[in-house]
Amino acid sequence: MSSLPSQLSARIQAVTGADPELRPATKPQFGHFQSNVALRLSKAQGRPPREVAASIVEALDVADLCETPEIAGPGFINFRLRSDVLAAAVTAQLHDPHAGIAQATSPSTIVIDYSAPNAAKQMHVGHLRSTIIGDCFNRVLSAQGHRVIAQNHIGDWGRQFGMLIEQALDEGFSLDGAGFDELDLAGAEQLYKRANAHLKADQQFADRARERVVLLQAGDPQTRAMWQRLVELSKRGFDATYARMGVRLGPGDYAGESTYNEALPAVCEDLESRGIAVVDQGALVVFVDGFDAPAILRNSQGGYGYDVTDIAAVRHRVADLGAGRLIYVVGSEQTYHFNLVFGVCRKAGYLPSGVRAQHVGYGMVLGADGKKLSTREGTASLLNDLLDQAEEHATPAIALAAIKYADLSNSLQKDYVFDPERMTQTTGDTGPYLQYAHARVSQILRRAREEAEAAGGVPARSAAPEVSVLAQAPEQQLALWLTRFGEAVDEVAEELTPHKLCTYLFELATIYSSFYENCPVLRSQGQVRASRLGLCAATRQVLAKGLELLGIEAPERM
Ligand code: ARG
């Protein structure tokens, strides 16, 4: 089912041969949509725009969708949808299990790389943003019917494990459980700090840590087993955080850096044998046009690092997972890294031209003082800090809504100030305000049902709600805005701009308020009342669906 504006667009395009670029009308008296296509065509046709507009209107057959189109000003064409058509569209949307979100005609496999914290360290605020944003992309693209594969590229490999394991051994940890059984992620972070201090102070320890890295890479069983325990307990810590955040990421989504260990020599060999990689100052590297520094596949000591791991990951995601689109939600400071990795992969053919690869960066979270937030000293994780702060002002579900909405409602690249008091308000452009709007409309529907039941009438539940009368301007405005939900979701999926969904929903709540103030629902009668209840039901459906796409709970009561 294509939306009303796109059906209308297609009709106009068939007559003019040009995209009508339909825009929402700026004022109610201009109808619902406006096109400037006549102005654009007039030059080529050598005729005045109003004349061109007149012949378009003459040739156009849209009587089943619109009132007669009107020509305005210098040659704009204004369209007003027929209210019966609009009413039928809202009713159809209300009965659509996807709430008007168009299902992809050819679904593709989309890999989203997000969250990606580092083992033996708690998630910092950047990982939290990545988790919230990635979760939203996952939900939006899944809702369109795509197959989304989340890949949690955790930092579970590298030199830091040498010192972590040596420190653990020094402190009497053993594989039969001693030490490890009591260690949680916060404890592992403390171990990390002690290991780091030890490393700086004790040359002998530093040497042992270095030898331990060699053992780890060589697959020494005891070393590997200790590494495994550290990674497992880190994952348990991350999973607890994901559960508290209500995100979809889980144990099945881990594909940490170590996943690619086996593939790295083969990637190097492949690229070297095809002359794509070259040896430069003892290191194996790939130069890409437009980049100052090359990507490093293998350093001069024979070690593999971050670049080559991501190159192997791209290859795996495209060749083995069948990805048609790759999305990376990682802080903006890694833009260069990803562009370079994509450049290498294009050159190598790991990333064919038909596969889109996108890095979505994001700005910083600032404290009230306008400075970058950083973890307080101590064991409290930053997520807990932030949630605790927000929970000083609201219940857990509301606090979470507040944080997620604050993360998603600005353009992602912007920094934003973490202001728990403002974010948890139920007025203004906040998550709790949208939750409250949902609870309010739920309450009206609940009352209508109770009244019907008390009157012994047909339980409202079994009578399919229907929108049939759109006589008042606020009713029409609400209906029109509801039918645009699908487009809003499509735009977010295409541009990866969650703030546009937030804006859409905030606008919906505002339009609904004005409908509610001007058009009595429970106090009206007969078909008008039924139709207004239908509008309420459609509003609730879209608010609930929209909040779900943002990862925010939609409470029935607040
Ligand atoms: N672990 C990295 C960090 O904390 C982020 C990894 C992002 N994903 C990737 N494929 N490189 O900065």
In three state form, how does the secondary structure of 59-77 look? HCCCCCCECCCEEECCCEE
Between CA 429 and CA 417 the distance in angstroms is 14
In the reported structure, the alpha carbon of residue 117 is separated from the centroid of ligand 1 by a whole-number distance in angstroms of 7
Rg (CA), the chain: 29
Residue 250 host element (H or E): none
Query: Distance (Å, rounded) from C-alpha 307 to C-alpha 288?
Result: 13
What's the whole-model pTM score?
Answer: 0.94
Burial of 508 (0-12, 13-18, 19+ CB in 10 A): buried
**Helix residue ranges, H only, 353-430:** 382-391, 396-408, 420-423
Cross-strand partners of 280: 283
User: Is the distance from CB of 101 to CB of 116 less than 8 angstroms?
Assistant: no
- Determine the Cα–Cα distance for residues 556 and 554; give it in Å rounded to an integer: 7
Query: How many C-beta atoms lie closer than 10 Å to residue 512's C-beta?
Result: 25
Task: Looking at the CA of residue 151, tell me the nearest atom of ligand 1.
Answer: 10
Please identify, by atom number, the ligand 1 atom nearest to the C-alpha of residue 338: 11
Name every protein residue with a CB atom under 6 angstroms from any ligand 1 atom: 113, 116, 118, 153, 155, 310, 313, 328, 330
Q: Helix-strand-coil percent breakdown of the chain, rounded to 5? A: 55, 10, 35
The whole-angstrom distance between residue 341's C-alpha and the CA centroid of its chain comes to 22
d(CA 254, CA 94): 37
Q: How far apart are the first and last CA of the chain?
A: 35
pLDDT at 370: 83
Task: Name, in order, each residue with C-beta under 8 angstroms of 320's C-beta and a sequence gap of 6 or more.
Answer: none
Report which residue type is found at 271.
Answer: L
Q: Residue 502 to residues 88, 287, 410, 492, 547: CA-CA distances in angstroms?
A: 26, 41, 9, 10, 9
Instruction: Provide the residue type at 137 as one letter.
Output: F
Q: List the residue whose alpha carbon is closest to atom 11 of ligand 1.
A: 310
Among protein residues, the one with the nearest Cα to ligand 1's atom 6 is 116
Q: How far is the CA of 258 from the centre of ligand 1 (A)?
A: 13
> Residue 138: in which H helix or E strand, if any?
helix 125-143
Q: What was the pLDDT predicted at 381?
A: 53
Pick the closest to residue 372 from 80, 12, 125 (CA basis).
125
Q: How far apart are CA 328 and CA 317, in angstroms?
A: 12
The full length of the chain comes to 558
What is the maximum span of the chain, computed from C-alpha positions, in angstroms? Answer: 89
Number of neighbouring beta carbons within 10 Å of residue 266: 11
Ligand 1 centroid from CA 272, angstroms: 26
Partnered with residue 372 across adjacent β-strands are 366
Q: What pLDDT tens digit does each residue of the chain (558 aa) get?
A: 578 888 999 999 999 999 999 998 988 888 999 999 999 999 999 999 999 999 999 999 999 999 999 999 999 999 999 999 999 999 999 999 999 999 999 999 999 999 999 999 988 888 999 999 999 999 999 999 999 999 999 999 999 999 999 999 999 999 888 899 999 999 999 999 999 999 999 999 999 999 999 999 999 999 999 999 999 999 999 999 999 999 999 999 999 999 999 999 999 999 999 999 999 999 999 999 999 999 999 999 999 999 999 999 999 999 999 999 999 999 999 999 999 999 999 999 999 999 999 999 999 888 888 888 765 543 345 677 888 888 899 999 999 999 999 999 999 999 988 888 999 999 999 999 999 999 999 999 999 999 998 987 665 555 678 999 999 999 999 999 999 999 999 999 999 999 999 999 999 999 999 999 999 999 999 999 999 999 999 999 999 999 999 999 999 999
Pocket test for ligand 1, best of 311, 334, 340, 375 (most atoms within 8 A of CB): 334
CA atoms lying within 13 Å on the CB side of residue 284? 22
Tell me the per-residue pLDDT of 443-474, one tens digit each, with 9 for 90 and over.
Answer: 999 999 999 989 876 655 556 789 999 999 99
Quote the distance between the C-alpha of residue 52 and its chain's center. 43
Domains, in order of start, for the chain? 4-81 (3.30.1360.70), 109-155+255-360 (3.40.50.620), 160-248 (no CATH)
Please state, in angstroms and rounded to a whole number, the distance separating the CA atoms of residues 553 and 238.
Answer: 21
